Chain A
Amino acid sequence: MLSKIGDWFDERTGYRAGIAKALDEDVLGGARFAYVFGSVLTFLLVLQMTTGVFLAMYYSPSATDAWASVAFINDQVTAGWFVRGLHSHGASAMVIVAGLHLLQTAIYGAYKKPRELNWIIGVVLLGLILAFALTGYLLPWDQTGYWATQVATGIAGTSPVIGQQVQEAMQAGNGYGNLTITRFFALHVFVLPAILIGMTVFHIALFRKHHQTPPWWLDKKELKARTQPFWPDQMFKDIVAMAVVFALLIIVNYQTGGAHLDAPADPSTAFDARPEWYFRPLFQMLKYFHGPMEVIVALGAPVVIGGVLLGLPFVDRGPERNPMKRLPYLAVLAVGIVLTVGLTLASYREDANNPEFQKAAKHSHARATKARELAVKYGVPAQGGPAVFTMEPGYQGKKLFSRDCAGCHLGSDRKGPEIASGYNSRQWISDFLHNPAADRFFGPTKITGMDPVTASDEDYAALIEFVYAQTGADDVNVDLAAQGNKLFDDGDCSDCHASDWETEDEVGPNIGKRGSHDMIKQFIVTPNHARWFGDKNEMPSSKGKYSEAELDEIAGYILGLQSKARNSD
């Protein structure tokens, strides 16, 4: 049945002959692991294209949505972290394998006549891979990508004469925004792939025309004698190499938990930008050059590297392919490699020995974790990535408190009691009852009437629990609080204080529901209410100033302080 379907298609397409032709190639001198790099690169390219298409199913290229959509892929979509991790680490793998491919062909002298053009295409393909990396790095619109890419477009901006125009063309306008990301996205997923695929086809076609460059140490007769067919001899070695690279990729992906995602890009924050590891040498090099040299090096280095590679076949022109006899030419590559590795190591070592950077990195990591947690839990507000931080419960309340309340209730210039972490906790109540006139409490106010409470430890605990119970906390010891209530009513407390919420105009404030959500809201609006401080109140009324929702936010924030340890902010 299957063969009949096959026959039907073969009669109409001739696919069998096509496949046979594609696989039928003699490998002069026999199959070798040295030849696997091109195939592995093709495999990685297919993997990148596949994962890339799948990422695009969830990715949204806009300055407000990009980070949120990537965080969604990474933290919510089934296997999303895995797909994104494969794509990100796959990019690194492509850079590494492309480097190895270049080295192998250089050592074998594969750039020599008649293969010069294919070498040139290979160098251009390497440049394209780096262009993919550069454009892809920005797409998550996270802190790392945002700031590192600023450096790249900034360098372009230093170009002589047309610098500003080049930079504006790259980032699409005067600064980073929606157009930057749509432009980078279009380059990354449409323009670069089209060029890359086209050139790869050309590269492979030329390779098939000239065949692989055989070992230099075998003469013609020996090469012929050892010849093996591409299928399956070389293909088997190729797929073994692909499997090894793929396995490594998956291991690295699992080990790292997928690709890194920083907090959403935020132009208002400080961030220590670092490029991807393969741009580290260029990044590091810029530290050593200042003034006019900086521009020359920043723009010149890629030109020099590209120029050396492109020029190699035209300088090393003889038929000699033995590397030992081409040492001066290969030495140029060796120096390049040593410089690259050296600069990369220097860059990482500098960061490792820089406590400031380490501290900043730790802070960024914590911020990223927080942002991603909030994104999963509440979603990202439509105004953009950094707005995810406003979703944190109490955020609005904290903002309002900082703006309107902190002036009098925080810091050394306070005019009222301190409202900070631990406010209205058992410890706070205990501290207060022991010394109401302390600077933390009524010290800065005109309220002086209350004496420290004296009682046995046991009674103290009961009284604290009773006062604590007024806040509506959910971990109240009800029996202890009832005991405290009795002490309150029977003892001195009730001489000055009511505890029923309704009673007004006592000597001291009514402590009913004191510190509860409702009480805080009402107190903010009418602090001079006869239920509380009446004439003795110094706090300005906020009647009409806040919406109900804002009052809820402020009260929520103040109530949230209760469960925090003192001085934890």
Chain B
Amino acid sequence: MGMLEAILITIATAATPLLIAAVGELVVERSGVLNLGVEGMMVMGAVTGFAAALATGSPWLGFLAAIVVGALFSLLFAFLTLTLVTNQVATGLALTLLGLGLSGMLGEGFVGFPGVKLANVYIPVLTDIPLVGKLFFGQDPIFYLSILLTAGVAYFLFRTRAGLTLRSVGDNHASAHALGINVVLIRYLAVMFGGACAGLAGGYLSIVYTPQWVENMTAGRGWIALALVVFASWRPWRVLAGAYLFGAVTIGQLHAQALGIGVPSQLLSSLPYLATIVVLVLISRNRRLTMVNTPASLGRPFVPDR
């Protein structure tokens, strides 16, 4: 295995959790809800995924547990913001704080345990192709799932009637309500999909990326995922491009340190946020781009009159 291939594979591994969490949040935001609790849902997914995999010995049950806990955690957010109509920003921040604290407490007994490993895919002949075999045909199953997820979300949003309905709710919830669309129900489903994705992304961290549990192990990846959604101007394939770009920056930073290149790590880790600001400035100059891609009701509370 060549050095380059190894680097590319680690980039994919770094990008996968960002991609999964960001694609989930993209669906949430397209429905008009801003859930800043991605970090909290991710870290909860990480701790339960690790614990469930350890207890059952099956990484798959670990992923399942991570997904369920992520969705349940987001259900709390949905109940508060959609039913009780609390402020979305404050509630999302509270969710992150709660997730970080709760996961630290629940995970105390799991620190130091070796995790359950997930085997990489092996397809005879294809995986053995020199240079690209392992990159394309020999990674972990969740990597492939993340690509399918992106494609699925892109298809759902822009090719199906249900996706159109979801986008309409994010664009103008009052109009959607007037047409008889159940705004609150659609947002509940979107938020829970986002939670499930964040949970899975967290489980990926503790089962595949670094198979162990460490407190706060998400290390800000939930925030990068949030930034990515804006960076990608709410388009799924651009989220994928962004996730790999940021994944590459993370890995590049490690290699640069190893080679003794003196780029301050703080600068590199701030790059995703700087890039997001640049993108925001650029798209806000273009009225059509903003209008077409930015969910106009994003973060606005909705109370249906009956």
Tell me whether A and B are bound partners.
no
